[in-house]
Amino acid sequence: MKSWLKVLVPVAAFVALASCGGHKGNTLPDSSSQAVEGGGSSTGVTTGQGAGGGITGSPLEQERARLLQTLVIYFDYDQAEIKPEFTAVVQAHGQQLATNASMMVRLEGHTDERGSREYNIGLGERRAQSVRRALMLAGAQPGQITTVSYGEERPAATGSDEESWRLNRRVEIVYRR
Amino acid sequence: MLGAVRSRGVSWRRGVFALLALLGVSLSGTASAQLNVLITKGIERPTPMAIVPFGWSGSGPAAYDISGVVSADLKSSGRFAPIAESDMVSRPTSPDKINFADWRLLKVDYIVIGTLTETAPDQFTTVFQLFDVLRGEQILGYRFMSGRADLRATAHRISDMIFEKLVGVPGVFSTQIAYVSEEKRADGGKRFRLIVSDADGENAHIVADSPQPLLSPSWSPDGRRLAYASFEGDQQAVYIQTLKSGTRERVSSRKGVNSSPAFSPDGRLLALTLSNEQGNLDIFTLDVATQVLRQLTTDAAIDTEASWSPDGRTLYFNSDRSGGPQIYRVGAEPGARAQRVTFEGVYNARPRVSPDGKKVAVVYGANNQYRIGVIDAASGALQILTSGRLDESPSFAPNGAQIIYATRDKDRGVLASVTTDGRIQQEIASVAGDVREPVWGPYPRP
């Protein structure tokens, strides 16, 4: 994925946006990593704690590339709200779409196996639309995004346990050529 | 061989089917998946009866084991206990040869005898009689004429008649079920199939075959068509497929969700669920002939899983407008206000109205356990019928006395049925893959 190189110019604007998703308002750019705390293992971003935790840093481009590498957004049970640890990721994708008008994404909504299949089709759609709205808030245009809900029909993990369920409650961001 | 899967001889067609092939969807073929019925919970004393092997007259060996199918049908219902052939002291094929005293000693309540006769090439006459052993009287007798291909159907008709005479509700051995199977392919991908089989799981054939999910089959009231949702080209759409010809029509492929189809009792309308860009799902009716679409629900919640009352005036559906899935009902004309039906429990979904309109089968969820329940449409009172962990997709048999549903056996998806009084449960296990979303078809047309 090299497309992020094209968007170095508006990176300052992006950082301002991304940090809005963090918990402290006007801190310095590197604290935007706070926004993905908890999603750490999947994004590869390490986080620095606040007071007394020392300072860590990384180049902004690298930060952004890491955010864009995250293509799966996870949700809580029966919820479609984007969790705080994913707001920076979704904003990064929205920004990328905003600055690359020819880019297109398909948002695939999924649920865990619990509950009825058709209700889960609805819940998956609700999740996909939730990500769609967040992408548009970050500047993506409606014509760049399509959605589809697979409900519980295409699980990422096949077990019937909490961990499988967690991995299955998701929206996958699929870039289309 | 009773277990043989018969192909309808339908495979590929030209024109639109070439396109379907490109999309990876094929229609109508022979299914490898057969189902086996196992009674997991029965009544304490199923009625003992003797189903005597039918007499045969014609060239060569018997054209069909009619009595074998009748015996398997009645046994699978859980209500009857046909005695083994080896325990029979005689094998009468006409009333004058029945020694009722012998059968009383064997403690059977009823005896069934019959004959199969070849009257001309591919023309058969089947005669059966049902006797009350204690009274020594015939209580049912009938003659059927058919070709060889319909001898199995004749056997199911006999089972239906005996069942109705002795139980008081029509039998459903002649009906069909539709269900979805999922198998892993050798290349790691998946294969989803929509399958129609006889109610006993035999005679299965593939209606549609896709690498993408197929869901929510719904029978037309005449049993000739199935509506279902399919994903083709990264988009969900609802199709109506004619079973005999295999031809199908895409009736809804709007942006977003196109799912949960349900034919109205007169077959003219299709209820379905569509979505808008707020992630709001609502229930609509689509006139199948004119394509006129009308919106029935408008709430910002997920409204889905519509099921028609038998008079076609009311639709029951699932909505999470109160915070979690609950059952509501609404008039079939736009503008009607929806009424909440379920108040018991935090999770009630997938309503399916009984053939008499008095009951609604639901998926009842509590403490991470999902079971099949039946609610009284008038009072809302709930009765739980099953005890699985992830039971789903209830569907009434056309006689209203039985519900088929999907459940798990370890990690495998299997089909099961339960009588609406909860007394008899059966598991119907597929030989290969996961099976789910069973839907009971209507009575066959004469």
The CATH number for A159's domain is 3.30.1330.60
Q: What is the pLDDT of residues B141-174, one digit of tens each?
A: 999 999 999 999 999 999 999 999 999 999 999 9
Which of A119, A144, A154 is the mutation pick for testing B, counting most B CBs within 10 A? A119
Least confident of A49-58, A140-149, B191-200: A49-58
How many Cβ atoms sit within 10 Å of the Cβ of residue B72? 20
| Residues B181-193 pLDDT 10s | 999 888 888 999 9
DSSP state of B337: P
**Interchain CB contact of B226 with A (< 8 Å):** no
Alpha-carbon distance A75 to nearest alpha carbon in chain B (angstroms):
15
Percent of chain B at pLDDT > 90 equals 77
Domains of chain B: 16-37+187-440 (2.120.10.30), 43-167 (3.40.50.10070)
| pLDDT tens string B168-183 | 999 999 999 999 999 9
Identify whether the C-beta of residue A75 lies closer than 8 Å to the C-beta of residue A107: no
The span from the CA of B440 to the CA of B402, in Å, is: 10
Please compute, for residue B78, the number of CA atoms within 13 A of its CA located in the half-sphere on the CB side: 19
* Position B287 pLDDT exceeds 90: yes
Instruction: Give me the residue label for tokens 């077959």.
Output: B267
Minimum-distance CB partner of B257 among A113, A116, A121: A121
Q: How confident is the model at residue B409 (pLDDT cuts 50, 70, 90)?
A: confident
d(CA B106, CA B99) in angstroms, rounded, equals 11
Give A91-113 pLDDT, tens digit per residue.
Answer: 999 999 999 999 999 999 999 99
Q: What is the pLDDT of residue A36?
A: 34
User: Does B32 or A156 have the greater pLDDT score?
Assistant: A156
Per-residue DSSP letter, B422 = S
Looking at the complex, report in whole angstroms how far the Cα of residue A110 sits from the nearest Cα belonging to chain B. Answer: 13
- Residue A159 C-alpha, separation from nearest chain B C-alpha, in angstroms: 8
Number of domains in chain A: 1
Interface test with A, best of B258, B284, B304, B389 (most A CBs within 10 A): B304
Confidence grade of residue B426 (pLDDT, cut at 50, 70, 90)? confident
- What is the H or E stretch that residue B76 is in? helix B66-76
| Banded model confidence at residue B25, pLDDT cuts 50, 70, 90 | low
Which pLDDT belongs to residue B261? 98
- Mean pLDDT score, B126-142: 97
What confidence score (pLDDT) does residue B352 get? 98
Among the partner residues A117, A119, A150, nearest to B302 by beta-carbon distance: A119
Interface contact B392, partner A, CB < 8 A: yes
DSSP string computed for B164-212:
HHHHSS---TT-EEEEEEEEE-TTS-EEEEEEEEETTS-S-EEEEEESS
Question: For the segment B29-55, what is each residue's pLDDT rounded down to a tens digit?
Answer: 544 445 567 777 777 789 999 999 999
pLDDT at residue B348 tops 70: yes
Please determine, for residue B355, whether its predicted confidence score (pLDDT) is greater than 60.
yes
At residue B218, does pLDDT exceed 90?
yes
Pairwise CB contact (< 8 Å): B437 & A117: yes
Per-residue pLDDT of B202-216, as tens digits, reads: 888 999 999 999 999
Residue type, B381: A
Pairwise CB contact (< 8 Å): B370 & A115: yes
Please name the residue ranges forming H helices in A21-116: 40-43, 60-69, 84-99
High-pLDDT (> 70) share of chain A, %: 70
User: Do the beta carbons of residue A47 and residue A55 sit within 8 Å?
Assistant: no
Mean pLDDT of B379-397: 94
Encoded tokens for B434: 């996961």
Domain with A19 in it: 3-176
Is B232 within 8 Å of chain A by CB? no
Q: What per-residue confidence (pLDDT) applies to A163?
A: 96
Nearest to B227 by CA among B209, B248, B257, B246: B248
pLDDT for position B431: 58
pTM confidence score: 0.83
CA distance B265 to chain A (A): 21
Binding-face residues of B in 264-283 toward A, CB within 8 A: 273, 275, 277-279, 281
> What is the distance between the terminal CA atoms of chain A, rounded to a whole angstrom?
13
Query: Is B256 within 8 Å of A149 when comparing Cβ atoms?
Result: yes
Residues of chain A in contact with residue B256, where contact means CB-CB under 8 angstroms, are: 125, 147-149
Nearest to B195 by CA among B150, B226, B224: B226
pLDDT at B132 over 50: yes
Cβ-Cβ contacts under 8 Å for B345 (sequence gap 6 or more): B364, B365, B366, B382
B377 has a pLDDT exceeding 90: yes
Q: What is the pLDDT of residue A26?
A: 34
The residue among A76, A112, A116 with the most chain B CBs within 10 A of its CB, best to mutate, is A116
CB contact under 8 A, A118 and B273: yes
pLDDT exceeds cutoff 80 at A25: no
How far is B280 from B270, CA to CA, in rounded Å? 20
∠ CA A16-A22-A23, rounded to 5°: 125
CA distance A19 to B133: 86
What band does B8 get if pLDDT is binned at 50, 70 and 90?
very low
Write down the pLDDT at residue B368: 85
* Nearest Cβ partner for B259 among A121, A130, A147: A121
Q: Is the pLDDT of residue A47 over 50?
A: no
Measured between CA atoms, how close is B387 to chain A, in angstroms? 15
Q: Do B304 and A121 touch (CB under 8 A)?
A: yes
Q: What is the pLDDT of residue A56?
A: 78
Q: Do B368 and A147 touch (CB under 8 A)?
A: no
- Give the residue from chain A lying closest to B326, CA to CA: A119
Q: What is the mean pLDDT of chain B?
A: 90
Residue B16 confidence (pLDDT): 42
Q: Do B278 and A129 touch (CB under 8 A)?
A: yes
- Phi, then psi, of A64 in degrees rounded to 5: -65, -45
The pLDDT, as a whole number, for residue A49 is 44
Q: What does the pLDDT read at residue B23?
A: 54
- Out of A8-17, A27-36, B31-40, which region has the weakest mean confidence (pLDDT)? A27-36
The whole-number pLDDT of residue B249 equals 96
Q: Which helix (H) or strand (E) holds A20?
A: helix A11-20
Smallest Cβ–Cβ distance between A122 and the set B257, B368, B408 belongs to B257
pLDDT value, residue B432? 66
User: What residues in A contact B281, CB-CB < 8 Å?
Assistant: 121-122, 125
Q: Does B216 touch chain A (CB under 8 A)?
A: yes
For residues A7 and A101, give the distance between their C-alpha atoms in angstroms, rounded to a whole number. Answer: 12
Q: Is the ipTM of this complex over 0.85?
A: yes
* Closest Cβ opposite residue B216 in set A118, A154, A158: A118
The per-residue pLDDT for B34 is: 52
Count helices and strands (H / E) in chain A: 6, 4
